[in-house]
Structure 1
């Protein structure tokens, strides 16, 4: 059977290009292994080498258990490549065991107000921040979304929800500071909050509150009945 170098095959069939095009979840075990191996041997391309390994060790758990010596039995897998394979498999195992970090719990608007005062009180420019929460109101991410004057055309809701979708957040608490020291919401603040809440309703992510920080004090739109 004729042997082809990977570069002689259509680029659309290269595993790295396929991952970029369709995403890692749609690649076969052989394609993923080929990406990790990076290169084959003089007699076979990297896809053929990956296929040979998976034919000899078809069970992925057994592949994880294979020793460096066992991996080196395959032509094209030297000590360095075998060590890299072992490292990648162990790293994947550790990622699989990892849990999403929790940064505390959103107990109330008052608790969130105190948190945001500490985060935002010293800034001389407006900072828009978001706390992303799971269904149990546990904080799973804190992110600065925007720095500058807050208005609808610059601080777009998509920047807020992009992160929420990425980490599967169920709820969001927003906050920004007023460098003037007066936390009373402006019309821009109210219009922006309304727009973000409407976007959240459309995609099923609740906006818990929008808190404005001034000089060691805060204004909660939810507490002050702007949430109807």
Structure 2
């Protein structure tokens, strides 16, 4: 195996990534780009090759203790690799596309961030005809009222998405899950507007750290 110092500049992992994009790198080269350097007597490409072999064998996210057992991987390199896995996991898990919605609990995993918000966020999740998520959008931030949460603001993007239905969600920073009269009025207004447009409002959830309430389940849809 060639040492990284023996490679032309454009074939070195980080330079190659910058010029040709991450997709042009092998798994070994991607790992080398992450850890940056090897150790005395062990070139970065050799260390990266061992890490790649370990990851393929284990076929799961690595642990810190497992990584530091690999020769040439110390605390810093192990932390870099674990951080990369965790960052990728969070971005993949946060992508709602294709997530199937069949009940209110299916929605909760898409809006976990709302429960810690200090302001009310009104979110619209658009769905295709199979009940799968197209995307999630924040419509308004702040106190809800009918002038802010207007049908045109909610349904403009849903029409662009060619959505068959939507699920509405907003949080109560106070923790109180009781829907206000304003919440109920907005829900009914949006449901009526959706019926005219042919985009059904499946549910409107109120969420907080204490749990959730489905306005459909309590008879307001």
Which TM-score bucket, shorter chain as reference? 0.5 to 0.7
2:102 alignment partner in structure 1:
107
Matched, 1:193 2:174: no
8 A Cα contact 2:170 2:206, kept in partner: yes
In the TM superposition, what is the alpha-carbon distance from 1:175 to its structure 2 partner? 0.3
Matched, 1:147 2:128: no
In the TM superposition, what is the alpha-carbon distance from 1:169 to its structure 2 partner? 0.6
2:117 alignment partner in structure 1:
123
Matched, 1:181 2:144: no
In the TM superposition, what is the alpha-carbon distance from 1:157 to its structure 2 partner? 1.4
Superposition CA RMSD, Å:
1.4
Number of aligned positions between the proteins? 126
8 A Cα contact 1:106 1:137, kept in partner: yes
Name structure 2 gaps, 5 residues minimum.
Answer: 1-95
Q: Deviations over 1:187-222 (max 9, x none)?
A: 000000000000001110000000001224001011
Q: Deviations over 1:38-93 (max 9, x none)?
A: xxxxxxxxxxxxxxxxxxxxxxxxxxxxxxxxxxxxxxxxxxxxxxxxxxxxxxxx
8 A Cα contact 2:188 2:220, kept in partner: no
Q: Which SS does the other structure have where 1:120 is aligned?
A: helix
8 A Cα contact 1:109 1:223, kept in partner: no
Name structure 1 gaps, 5 residues minimum.
Answer: 1-100
Q: Which SS does the other structure have where 1:121 is aligned?
A: helix
8 A Cα contact 1:128 1:177, kept in partner: yes
